[in-house]
Amino acid sequence: MWSRLLTLCIVLSLAAAAGWALWPRPIGVETTSIATGSLVVTVDEDGTSRIGEVFHVSAPILGRLKRVGLHVGDTVTQGQTLVSMEPVAPGLLDERTRRVAEAAVQAAAAGVTLAEAGLAQARATDTFAQQDLERSIQLSERGLVSTQALQRARLAAETAEKSMEAAEATLQMHQQQLQSAQAALIQGDTPTVGPCCVNVVAPVTGRVLAVFSESEQVLQAGAPLMDIGDPDLMEIQVDVLSSDAVRIVPGARASIVDWGGAPLRAEVAQIDPIATTRVSALGIEEQRTRVTLRLLDGPKSRAGLGHGYRVTAQIVVWEAAEVVLVPLGALFRTGGDWSVFVVENGTARLRTLRLGQRNGELSEVTDGLEVGETVIMHPGDTLTDGRSVVAER
């Protein structure tokens, strides 16, 4: 009898122990309470600082550049001489080129002689025509010459006068051709006529951003010399996705961060109306639009920020106050909907939500949650609807 009771007690104890071991225990979870607050949605992109107006100074003539005394970072004032250039002597002529040039001079000289002879002939003809016109006028007054003969004399005089003017113009043309042909014979040993140097002055007050040619050398006209700009006129350029650009409006608030100092206030000054194709680091083609931001803080607040520095721009595209917010860490997908687990009396309950705007941390809840409710953060795959949970501290 006692042995049976002992065996029964042992069996019941084992059954109770097995039931207790297999009984589902509450899962420890991290929770947070739903509350209202302000939500700011931004477009975050890397950008570049740049001076709004950069002036590119180039060589005005073909000449020898004098040694440049300015260096990057130096301050210049408008009208200050930056560099000086000396016109170079023409190059030496080879034998063939010299003979061709000499022949051109002789031909041009012959043309001048021919034009002078033509001018002399035209002057003689004009003198005769003018004298004949005077005689015809005198005879016409006495009735000895017909009106038709007088008209012919006037026509001949006018024609002779215009012919003389044409001969003078022809002579001037041939004289200029002669000077041009003679200039082609100028060689390097011929002294340069004109001023010694041409001074290139600063177009604006600012600082030297780059010096492209520093040593003394011969440069072609239009060769770049240096870049000048005013660091106080700093702005930020950001290339954003075209899908984000349509949400940005002129005058929108922005913040400049990750530049090495405190965040800077800015606003959208311009949105380019054209997008360009860029290839991302993953090899994906993207359409990006350039957005220009105007800095609102003074130069003292951004000391050290130079031309071409990398920054991060946060452009505000939407903001609202007193909206129901849920952390993104509590959200997950169930089919095509967003859902969360809500803690009700120690039990996890699946809840489908309707969301509005979101940023990198929070999302606006338009339907499905009330202020004060508790949701589970980062729910695991083992968590199911109706499972007991306990909040972990």
Question: Are residues 264 and 298 in contact, defined by beta-carbon separation less than 8 angstroms?
Answer: no
Positive or negative CA dihedral for 143, 144, 150, 152? positive
How many whole angstroms separate alpha carbon 126 and alpha carbon 134?
A: 12
How many whole angstroms separate alpha carbon 54 and alpha carbon 52?
A: 7
Section 174-198 average pLDDT: 73
- Greater model confidence, 326 or 185: 326
Q: Given 3.30.565.10, 2.40.50.100, 1.20.120.160, 2.60.34.10, which CATH number is that of 54-88+192-229?
A: 2.40.50.100
Q: What does the mean pLDDT of the chain come to?
A: 86
DSSP string, 28-97: EEEEEE-EEEEEEEEEEEEEEEEES-EEEEE-SSSEEEPPP---TT-EE-TT-EEEEEEEPPPPPPPHHH
Second-level CATH architecture of 25-39+321-391? Beta Barrel (2.40)
Instruction: Say yes or no to pLDDT of 14 above 80.
Output: no
Q: How many CB atoms lie within 10 A of CB 276?
A: 12
Unique residue bearing structure tokens 């044409």: 166
Section 76-91 average pLDDT: 85
Section 208-212 average pLDDT: 91
- The H or E element spanning position 289 is strand 285-295
333: left (phi over 0), alpha (psi -120 to 50) or beta: beta
Section 343-348 average pLDDT: 89
Unique residue bearing structure tokens 């003809």: 125
Can you give the pLDDT at residue 105? 85
* Domain 95-183: assigned CATH number: 1.10.287
Q: What is the DSSP letter of 388?
A: B
Section 241-251 average pLDDT: 94
Share of the chain above pLDDT 90, in %: 40
With 0.75 as the threshold, say if the pTM is over it. Answer: no
CB neighbour class for 140 (10 Å; exposed up to 12, middle 13-18, buried from 19): middle
At 135, phi and psi to the nearest 5? -65, -40
- The H or E element spanning position 129 is helix 95-141
Instruction: Say yes or no to pLDDT of 19 above 70.
Output: no
Can you give the pLDDT at residue 184? 80
Section 354-378 average pLDDT: 91
pLDDT digits (tens, 9 = 90+) for 278-337: 988 888 899 999 999 999 988 888 888 888 999 999 999 999 988 999 999 999 998 889
For the chain, domain boundaries: 25-39+321-391, 54-88+192-229, 95-183
pLDDT digits (tens, 9 = 90+) for 153-174: 888 888 888 888 898 999 899 8
Can you give the pLDDT at residue 296? 92
pLDDT digits (tens, 9 = 90+) for 221-236: 889 999 999 888 899 9
How many whole angstroms separate alpha carbon 359 and alpha carbon 37?
A: 13
How many whole angstroms separate alpha carbon 251 and alpha carbon 144?
A: 94
Which residues on adjacent β-strands are paired with residue 328? none
Measure Cα distances from 352 to 37, 330, 332, 333, 346 in Å. 21, 12, 10, 9, 19
3-class DSSP assignment, residue 349: strand
Task: State the maximum Cα–Cα separation within the chain, in Å, rounded to a whole number.
Answer: 183
